[in-house]
Amino acid sequence: MDLAIQDALFGHDERRELGDGAWVDVRAGWLSGGHGRSGDLFDDLMTAIPWRSERRQMYDRVLDVPRLVSFHDLISEPAPHPEIARLRVRLNDIYAGELGEPFTSAGLCLYRDGNDSVAWHGDTVGRSSTEDTMVAILSLGATRVLALRPRSGGRSLRLPQSHGDLIVMGGSCQRTWEHAVPKTTKPTGPRISIQFRPRDVR
């Protein structure tokens, strides 16, 4: 499978400056091909990825995490699908110079329906409280909203992510903003997100 990636979107004309050094790049249709050949990637990942459920301590209870996950260190192990390896290389071609280091891992989440979600958080585990980093999220399947809000309070953003869309959060975004995928009551199909991160970032 050889999926087309839209080179015309490699400029930063879609970048939104969020303040305090935070920014987000929004690349609609970055993984082109519609629901045809790139739809094959969605189907492949649904069956090829070793999806697992997690449980997490929430106050005095242990609850199921409302999504399925799979994490892959792409330095120490083969990519779980050849396209993930190719996409990592392409993203490093675009962003590693600005980031100052390459993306080294792929975390995958499967949102089975509108009841699956992820709570407000920043991907700061493994980094100091003053260190900037970058996270690139590719969305496959059903459209879901990625919400962002400043940690200090203020206006939030709601960015719908459709099949093939790429969102990159950079600068201080993980430190000064939080992001979430909220639940929805609207009927919706499954969605897979692939999060490319540099070393030690979760």
Q: Which domain holds residue 142?
A: 14-197
Residue 59: pLDDT band by 50, 70, 90 thresholds?
low
Residue 40: give its domain's CATH number. 2.60.120.590
Evaluate if residue 71 carries a pLDDT over 70: yes
Query: Tens digits of per-residue pLDDT, 160-186?
Result: 999 999 999 999 999 999 999 999 999
User: Does residue 31 lie within any of the structural domains?
Assistant: yes
Top pLDDT among 102 and 7 is at 102
User: Does residue 96 lie within any of the structural domains?
Assistant: yes
- Tokens 């407000």 sit on residue: 120
Out of 7-16, 79-88, 187-196, which region has the weakest mean confidence (pLDDT)?
7-16
User: Does residue 4 lie within any of the structural domains?
Assistant: no
CB half-sphere exposure, 56, CA atoms < 13 A: 10
The Cα–Cα gap between 45 and 110 comes to 10
User: Does residue 93 lie within any of the structural domains?
Assistant: yes
User: Smallest Cα–Cα separation from 99: which of 138, 122, 132, 123?
Assistant: 132
- What pLDDT is recorded for position 12? 44
Contact (CB, 8 A) for 67 and 87: no
- What pLDDT is recorded for position 143? 97
How many structural domains does the chain have? 1
Query: Looking at 15-154, which runs of residues are DSSP E strands?
Result: 15-19, 22-27, 55-58, 61-64, 68-73, 105-111, 118-121, 135-141, 144-150
